[in-house]
Chains A and B, each alone.
Chain A
């Protein structure tokens, strides 16, 4: 069922290096009829540095935002960023399971958190609440050159009892959303391998090695782009790709797109509207061949007719991209 309204927490990255993630999310959800309301005066979730320092500090920094959302009319919070999501889910779980922890957190806050906010990733909202059918119905544009490796990163569906979304080892939500848009999806083995996370600045050599492994697997599976749902994954794979090439002697030139950008392109938005010019590895060549679905259908109908008249009655697959059903059989059932 579609819940019409969500509290939308974009997070700090989406105001800075990941601004195209924010723009594309807002555009596609508007197209899908979902209203996003920004919590008034939200603050940073605390992210990795806060929970590394102290669970109480992390809990309080996250709960300040949960308390703001709790006072809005909508009870469901959605964020595109898996790190923010994890901070909110952990703070909520600790506060609701441990009375003493909740009291301690509230002693640090000006406005207390009572424990009534459910958090979901925006990917989960689109996949579960909006649904594949509604997404497919908005598709106006085909992207024939994309061969996508869907890279979920480490914490979007893990640990399973906290994330409560998709499969922890072989998630399929992005694969299916892309397939619903007619995009070819590759069988990618490193869907949840870690890219090096927040260590890009203080432990660069570690991030470059891990990111190199991910990009190598992307090439090996036959993909020509990576589709992500995490601003940190995007940053490590895209912004640091040249650093990977220098350090590891590789020569990758693989565009790294947010899933919402791909959906946006399929819905007919222009690369400029979506903010694709912000990418470091250019997406131009990859999306140059995109064309309207009607044109694609006309082309494939003509092709079909030619084929039919050439070899009478030969049954062949049309040039059309697969629908959701086709992928469902290709990927593991949830």
Chain B
């Protein structure tokens, strides 16, 4: 079993960083496991969400930020709804993703590819264009046939040209200013 040496540094630094990013108080978690018990994604996670919470408390930054769990969380809010300490656990998971994003740690590459395809479409047109997102995802991820089986069925639901808004430059500027800031 892995031994972790807890010092005041490991105990404080990462927890403070996450608190700063999310406004949530990590000290309040007493490991009751209610978040994990209700989480629909536990069966897919490498570490259950209550263990991620404990990693934050014990300063295991590397392990938490390189986990698959932070990417596979769908922000369904079950954990946040049921936490007896009123910690917004889903927001903590989101905060960890934000930090991982800044440090370019992408443990789940396909999810990242999908998110970026979405945001590219948003930046280009101001609104998203579903057909473009799937095309871009399939090319970039190398999974060329994703959802090809839906093709004929989904055709009646899709539109074939993007809905370009007048203010798309304005939306692109939001993204540009954000990128410069980060």
Contact = CB atoms under 8 A, between A and B. Distances in A.
A47 interface: yes
Interface in B98-113: 98, 101-102, 108, 110-111, 113
Given A203-B72, A210-B40, A16 B159 contact: yes
User: Chain B contact residues: over half helix, strand or loop, or mixed?
Assistant: helix
Contact of A194 (B74, B173, B177): B74
A194 B149 CA distance: 24
A159 interface: yes
A194 B80 CA distance: 14
Contacts of A49: 114-116, 118-119, 122
Contact of A17 (B40, B118, B157): B157
Nearest to B177: A108
A51 interface: yes
Contact of A61 (B78, B159, B171): B171
A42 B125 CA distance: 11
B150 interface: yes
Contacts of B182: 54
Contact of B158 (A16, A159, A200): A16
A19 interface: yes
A168 B83 CA distance: 13
B25 interface: no
Interface in A73-125: 98, 104, 107-110
B154 A17 contact: yes
A292 B130 CA distance: 38
A202 B168 CA distance: 27
Interface string B159-179: 100010111101101110110
Given A64-B171, A109-B174, A196 B165 contact: no
Interface of B: 21, 23, 40-41, 43-44, 72, 74-78, 80-81, 88, 90, 94-95, 97-98, 101-102, 108, 110-111, 113-116, 118-119, 122, 126-128, 130, 133-134, 137, 141, 146-147, 149-150, 153-154, 156-159, 163, 165-168, 170-171, 173-175, 177-178, 181-182
Closest 7 CB pairs of A and B: A154-B76, A49-B115, A194-B76, A197-B74, A202-B110, A202-B114, A158-B77
